[in-house]
Every structure is written in C-alpha cells, then in structure tokens.
Structure 1
Amino acid sequence: MGSELFAELALVGGARGGEHARSRLDRELYGRGARSAGRGVELLKRPDRLLGVILIGNNLVNNLAASIATIVAIHFFGDVSGPAIATLVLTIVVLIFGEVTPKTYAAVKPDRIALPASLILAPLLRLLYPVVWLVNAISNGLLRLIGVRHLDAGADNLTRDELRSVVHEAGSLIPSRHQAMLLSILDLENVTVNDIMVPRHEIVGLDLDDDLETLLAQIRQSQHTRLPIFKGDINNIIGILHLRNASRFLSKPDLNKAAIVQEAREPYFIPESTPLHTQLLNFQQQKRRIGVVVDEYGDVEGLATLEDILEEIVGEFTTDVAGTYKDIHPQTDGGYIIEGTANIREVNKALGWQLPTDGPKTLNGLILEELESFPDAQACLQIGATRLEILEIGDNLITSVRCWQQGVRRRSSE
C-alpha cells in the first residue's frame, strides 16, 4: 500500500512538474513529427483545461493519501498520536516525492518529463472532461466577475524583461555574439533616432549656392554613397542624391545644377523622438536607407541611416572609410583624448564606460550640464567613475577633453 501511494504521488508530481517544464518544451519537435510533442502542444492550446485536470488529479491523490495515511497511523499509533504522525510523515513524503524532486527534475530535463507526461494527461483529460469542464466554467465565471479575461493560450505573454532574462540564461546555448545582438534588438525601443543620428554640423552635403565645379569635385571625392542637397542652409534640404546615379549626368556636355537636382530623390523626414525599432520598420515600409531628422519646429537636427540602426544591433561596420570611433584618441598614459562633439553612447560602447545617456547626447553637452556654466580651459570634473579634464575650448564649444576612469593608474608620459 505504501509503495503504491508513493508511486501515485510521484506520478502526479511528475505531471505537475511536466506542466511546468512545458514552458521550455521545444515546439519544433511538433513540426518534425514527434507524436508526444504534438500531444503536448495540443494540451497547451487550452491551459485552463490542462491545469484543471492536473489539479483535480493532484487533489484526488492528496486527499486519498491523507485518508489512507490517517487510517494506517491510527491503527498503529492510536487515535491521539496517529493523526499528528500521519500529517508529519505525509507532508514530508508529498514535499519530497510529489513536489520538489519531480519539479526540479522537470526543470532540468523538461523533454524527459513533459513528453511522457502528455501520454498520461491526454487520456486523463478525456476521462475527466465533464468534471474539468464544470470546474473551469465556475472558475472562469469567477475570474470574469473580478475583471480577468480568458487567457489566449496562443499568445506569447513574455515581457521584454523576461525575454532578456531568457537570453541571459541561455548561456552557452547561444553564441556570445548572437546573444549580444538579441539583447541589442530588445534595447532598440529605448533608443531614438536622435541618439544615433549624424548631427547637423557633421552633415556632408551639396550646397547649391556653391559653383558647379565645387559640387562636381564633392561628388567625385565623396566617401559617402548618399549626399543631401540643400540651398544655402541645411534646413533647406531639396533632396538626397545617390552617387550611383552620378554617372547619368557627369558625362553630359551641358551639365548644370538642375541636372544634379533632377537625379535626387525627395527627402524623407523623421521626428527626432522616433524609437529605433519603429524607424527600422519605417525604413522597410518606405524603402529608404536614409532620413532627415527634424525637431518639433521642423529644423534639421541630423541624418539617420539604416546602417546606423543596424550598427546598434551588430556593432560597427569595418567598411566605414572614416574609421571607427574617430573622436576617441588613446593616450600612452592610459587615458583618452575625446573630442567634445563625440556621442556619449558611442564613447560608452567603445570604452565600456557608463556615462549618463538620458540627457545631453554629446560629451560637450554633458560637461556643460554638469558644470551649469561655461568653463575655463583646464577645468576638471568627475562624472561617476570618469575623470574629465577640459583641454580646449573654441567658439563656445568644448572641443577636446582628456578622460580616464577612476582607479586606472595613469602612467607618466614624460
């Protein structure tokens, strides 16, 4: 009797552990034709019924075990001590054999529990279906009374933070580079185009106020594949010229500025607050690779490209002719000289630092915000674990800063 009771407890505990493990069940097995996986997927389509049959079986076995254990204990130990002994022993037995052990095993080896458990749960659900239906009808009615709608089993209910945890916990199952890419994708909604754009003062474009020879020289020597065309001021963007179309007009004997403008495509404008995951889809829908970032007043703030967004996912492309992190210059003493216009997020990525990114976008802006006044040359400050020494100032702009991490020993350069 005792061994049969233990077997029943382990069976139900394994089924409950198997249901817990199904959250990790590889559903690809179903597509490959695994019958047991197919049964598991069918059970998961109605989690309320699955949970109902498991709980009904669990309660039946627990109540049966309690009754039998009490009868046996009273027979051997009497009416006074018997119930207490039965309660103590049964609690330990259920905890070890019906809860902790099967659920732990199921969490470690989900396929070994979830798939065989479906062989038992599927026919058991058919056998107890009337009872399961009645229990679920009552419980679902109570849930509706308190405002809880029926859960759609087909929907994935993992939050972004839970997905992040899944990626972190995958460990060696996912290569580290792929893991970093997945985490970067999850972070796209926290980053806007304003964070990754080329600022307006760094935009290289064709000014129609320049003479024709100057424009042609820019086109021939440009390291970029697309150039904005504007007249007088960057806010007056007329179009975007793809340099692969340059051959169409460069060979024309009667070449003029109008011919250049004719080959340009109308500009595509992007609000500066657009999240990257949204803009990535917008680029796809609009069949664009570059957009003009504008603020709430319609003034041009910079340029954002599809490549900029992809670099947020996969890292810098080595084909960048201008070089990677050109604003950061390592020094022999262990520090860095960084240009004031450097993007803070780029600095953090390049050096592994944690400078704040929720305010100003450039190092110059961050220092001015921290000091709350325009500094004199050679001023020093500390932001978090980073020490900063202002080296050069020009045109109301901090142009050069020496930076190093606190705790990093600086070697003498003399």
Structure 2
Amino acid sequence: MDPNLLKAEFPILGQEINGYPLVYLDNAATTQKPSSVINAIKRYYEWDNANVHRGVHTLGSRATDAYEGAREKVARFLNAANSRQIIFTRGTTAALNMVASGYARQTLREGDEIVITPMEHHSNLIPWQQAAKATGATLKYIPLQPDGTIALADVESTITENTKIVAVTYVSNVLGTVNPIARIAEIAHRKGAVIVVDGAQSTPHLKVDVQALDVDFYAFSGHKMCAATGIGVLYGKAPLLERMEPVEFGGEMIDFVDLYESTWKELPWKFEGGTPIIAGAVSLGAAIDFLEQVGLHNIDAHEKKLTQYAIERLSAIEGLTIYGPREERAGLVTFNLGDVHPHDVATVLDTKGIAVRAGHHCCQPLMRWLNVSATARASFYLYNTEQDVDRLADALVETKEFFGYAIG
C-alpha cells in the first residue's frame, strides 16, 4: 500500500492549517473519512432515505437492504458465525454499557468477581464499577508490568473460580499495548468466566476473527475506522445474547405488546429499539469495503513500521519520555516533553499544522499508574507517512527550544 496515494482519498487531508499542510495524528480519537464513505452517506440521503423494516414501498425496501447488508458485511469482517450476532449501537461505549447492564446485572451475585486491567478506557471501567455496586460483585485488576504489558501468570492468578466476567481492551489507547486476547479468553473460559473485549483500538488496525479469539462479547466504533460518528457494534455469542435483557424499550424491538406485558423480537432486533442508525450503518459498510480493499494486514504492517520509525525519531529528542512497550505495540506513541504540559505541546504543534491529542485520554487510573497527570499522543493510520513523523519530530524540537526552560 502507498499511504501517499491513500491520503488523496481523504478530502479533509488536503487542507492547510495555520499555513502548513495538515498532518493528522489523532487517529486513535477518530479517523478521517474517504470519499467512498462520504459518497455512500450522500447517496443514501439523496436516493434511499426511508425508515427500515416497516414500509413495503421501494425506498423502505432499499433502505432495509442497505442497513441489513451492512450487518452482513460486519459479520464477515469479524468472521462471526452469522449476522444475528451483530448488534448495531451508538459506539463502543454504548455497546459495553449494554453488556454491563443487560448481561452483567442480570447474572452477577454478591461474591462474584469482575476482572479488568488498569489500562482500560473509562468506557470499559465505569460500567463495571456500576455493575459491581449494583450486584455486590467485586472488581479486581490484573497488575501491569513496568512496560505497560500484562503477564499471563498474573492473568492466571487474578482470575479465579469466582470470576464471572473478564473485561479487557485488545489495544490500549495510551500505551499501544496489544493484549493476548486469545490466551486471556482461554484462561477465562477454563475458570468459568466470560470475556468482554473493548475493540475500539484494534478493529481499525488488525484483522479480527472473533471465532478464533473465542471472545464472548466484542465492541467497537465505526468512527475510528473511516465510518461516520454515532455507529458502533456489539458482537456476542448467540446463547449469551439470548439470555441478555434489552436496555432500551420501544418500537421495533418488540414481538407482541399487550396492556401489561410485552415480548421481544429475536436476535438481533430485540436490542435495536426505535429508528436505528441507518446512515451510520451504511457508512460502516462502505468503510469496511474500503478497508478490505486496502487490506488489514497491510494496514497493520504499515503502522508497525511507522510506529518504530516514530519511536526512533522521538527517542532522539533529549528530555522526551515515551510510554508503553517499545516492541509489539500498536500504531501510536504517547509521550511527554520534559515538564511542558501536554496541552501546551499540542497547542504549539497545532500552530504548525500538526494535530495530536493531549490529556488523560479517558484513562485517569492509568495516568496515575504512569505518575503523570496527562500525556500527548500521536496516533497513526493508513494515510500517515514517515514525512508526517518527520514533521512531528522537527516540530517537537522547536517546541522544546520554545519551552527550553522547562526541560532538564
């Protein structure tokens, strides 16, 4: 793959910011959208716009075909056994909350354990805090190694026969750590627990096979993989989804409604009350087409090479600290530049047309583990190049000189 050619597919990347060509390095927060996805959304609203599953008219039929066709694409993309296991949601956060509320609160009892890690995004931490409080379950953490990875020996010792749920991110949005999900799933299942995986940072970058990983629930967002905002997916094994209760009630998710009782539709529609996110699903289907054309293996290889190049360039800057493992990491580099606040670093970089993220990245417990209040983060995607990294490194040197008093 040629990232320079791919960059031309993204209209937003052709602009200048503050007189400089845009270098977009905030892909872990959201990715940009190629013309094919933008056009798919535009075509839906110009040609097929109607509600789904309801009307027998032509527009309604076309809209339904597009919506359910996107579900089929997601199922193939994840290698799910069938599309009934694919629930459309508003995003990773909504999907994880759905499991915590609809499954965990129905099955957990006092004395049960929920096991997570300190590297979790708040979206995969707070729902489990609330589920534990509501059920009397105990929240436990797999400890981190000094480089921000987890050891399988610690996974073995933390998960016990009382553990009912293991919730873990596939890829850390701060450290870049890629967790051994298949091994963790095997340990969880051997001890009688189900595993819930936050796939927000893995699905856009790695080839994901939910059957090979043997995960019970898997959640991700479309906007981090070239689709529109407001669309996400919850994958679940069918028997678990059958047991799980809906968390939203209303039209379309019902089978029969009486004055005092109601019953739900079959999977997946019992979890999709109201008018669904039709245009979002269309955009996700188009994004999958685009990513499969590029090739997930190509994206993964490109990002690994680019990340190692970035680590080499940034490590040469005196006073700059990089967090997370140096090898076998995802396509992002999180760092601090001496005592300069990350927001100040990001502000100076923006004056040179370089967009990075600064803050706690919705990972406050992890920030405390790192003994910092915040960090800056450059995160890469298929359209980023070594020239983008060079622009970042050169701008950081200039930033260091500007704030030279703060760096030892």
Report the TM range for the smaller structure's normalisation: under 0.3
Q: Whose Rg is larger?
A: 1
Q: TM-score normalized by structure 2?
A: 0.20
Greater RCO structure (CA 8 Å; 6+ sep): 2
Higher helix proportion:
1
